[in-house]
């Protein structure tokens, strides 16, 4: 006859068996990483870098699918309604935390339908202007904006994206009015900025640096609280004339809610190993990016706090989806 302890042990084994099996068999097919922006932007770059690493580690291809539009809602809904098995993932940035306050109705519940898996990166943004803009620094740019309300147009990667939030925050803190022109991604926004269709943009350093080096854009300030090693001569926004300004874009990897905890844990651990690899650290340094970290539970708390933070920003600035 089995003792109570033996029966308890058997029961625990039966309960844990499906979880162990889920972790051991994952991934059983290619992983799809959905990006809410066109190719070429920061989110797309991080998705491809981590996708390559996951493929190398597990022998299953990681396919990047770009689904831009509606401020990230199209891509987010697609993943929120996908099978919760860890084979469909989503890369999001600050806009994911802004959307619940910016849009009266979303086709998904931001906190209930998706869950954080890992943080991929944190990246400072840079304020860039078209060379034809007669401003050599941030103070001169803000002076122009004050005498010409809504005449200076700033591009963004779309409603509620990092570039939209960063510029709305700047306008609010500086007490100026500028016209918001949303695009479907950083690449088309930068194309129009270079062409002079819009005058400025606060864009992740990753995608703007090449255009600044080529002389197609002029950099005025970095958005982070400290200067970037990639541009040590470029002042922070606070140093350049807006005390207290600090903004950095973050990039999270999400999965549909209900994804088995062992699968989420396996993904989180592998992303951490990948971010620690020497070659990826070298790439991040070259992009001015900081590797992300945190457990799924810590990132869930982080995202909830960011949603509350940006709810206050939307209310205080009157930020709207254009």
Tens digits of pLDDT across the chain (322 residues): 555 556 655 555 555 445 455 557 899 999 999 999 889 888 999 999 999 999 999 999 999 999 998 889 999 999 999 999 999 999 999 999 999 999 989 999 999 999 999 999 999 999 999 999 999 999 999 999 999 999 999 999 888 888 999 999 999 999 999 999 999 888 899 999 999 999 999 998 878 888 999 999 999 999 999 999 888 999 999 999 999 999 999 999 999 999 999 999 999 999 999 999 999 999 999 888 999 999 999 999 999 999 998 999 898 888 887 6
Q: What is the DSSP letter of 134?
A: S
pLDDT of res. 21: 54
Q: What is the CATH number of domain 124-248?
A: 3.40.190.10
| CB distance 320 to 101 below 8 Å | no
| CB distance 253 to 90 below 8 Å | yes
Q: What predicted TM-score, i.e. pTM, was given to this entire model?
A: 0.81
Q: Would you say domain 29-122+249-317 falls under CATH 3.40.190.150?
A: yes
Identical fold for domains 29-122+249-317 and 124-248, yes or no, is: yes
Q: Which residue has the tokens 């051991």?
A: 24
pLDDT of res. 70: 86
Residue 66: phi and psi, rounded to 5, are -90, 120
Domain boundaries, the chain: 29-122+249-317, 124-248
pLDDT of res. 17: 46
Burial of 6 (0-12, 13-18, 19+ CB in 10 A): exposed
pLDDT of res. 19: 47
């Amino acid at each position: 006859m089995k003792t109570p302890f033996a029966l308890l042990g058997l029961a625990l084994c039966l309960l844990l068996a499906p979880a162990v099996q889920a972790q051991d068999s994952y991934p059983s097919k290619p992983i799809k990483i959905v990006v809410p922006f066109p190719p070429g932007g920061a989110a797309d770059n991080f998705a491809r870098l981590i996708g390559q690493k996951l493929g190398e580690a597990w022998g299953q291809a990681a396919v990047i699918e770009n689904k831009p539009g509606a401020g990230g809602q199209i891509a987010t809904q697609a993943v929120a309604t996908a099978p919760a098995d860890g084979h469909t993932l989503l890369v999001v940035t600050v806009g994911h935390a802004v959307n619940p306050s910016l849009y009266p109705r979303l086709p998904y519940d931001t906190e209930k339908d998706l869950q954080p898996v890992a943080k991929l990166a944190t990246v400072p943004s840079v304020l860039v202007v078209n060379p034809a803009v007669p401003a050599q620094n941030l103070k001169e740019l803000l002076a122009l904006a004050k005498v010409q309300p809504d005449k200076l147009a700033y591009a963004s990667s779309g409603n509620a994206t990092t570039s939209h939030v960063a510029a709305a925050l700047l306008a609010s803190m500086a007490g100026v009015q500028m016209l918001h022109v949303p695009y479907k991604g950083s690449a088309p926004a930068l194309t129009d900025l270079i062409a002079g269709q819009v005058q400025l943009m606060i864009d992740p350093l990753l995608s703007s640096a090449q255009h600044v080096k080529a002389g197609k854009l002029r950099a005025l300030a970095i958005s982070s609280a400290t200067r970037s090693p990639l541009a040590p001569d470029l002042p922070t926004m606070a140093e350049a004339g807006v005390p207290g300004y600090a903004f950095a874009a973050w990039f999270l990897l999400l999965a549909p809610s209900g994804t088995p905890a062992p699968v989420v844990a396996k993904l989180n651990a592998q992303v951490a190993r990948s971010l620690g690899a020497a070659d990826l650290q070298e790439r991040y340094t070259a992009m001015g990016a900081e590797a992300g970290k945190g457990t799924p539970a810590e990132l869930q708390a982080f995202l909830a706090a960011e949603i509350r933070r940006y709810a206050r920003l939307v209310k205080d600035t009157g930020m709207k989806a254009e």
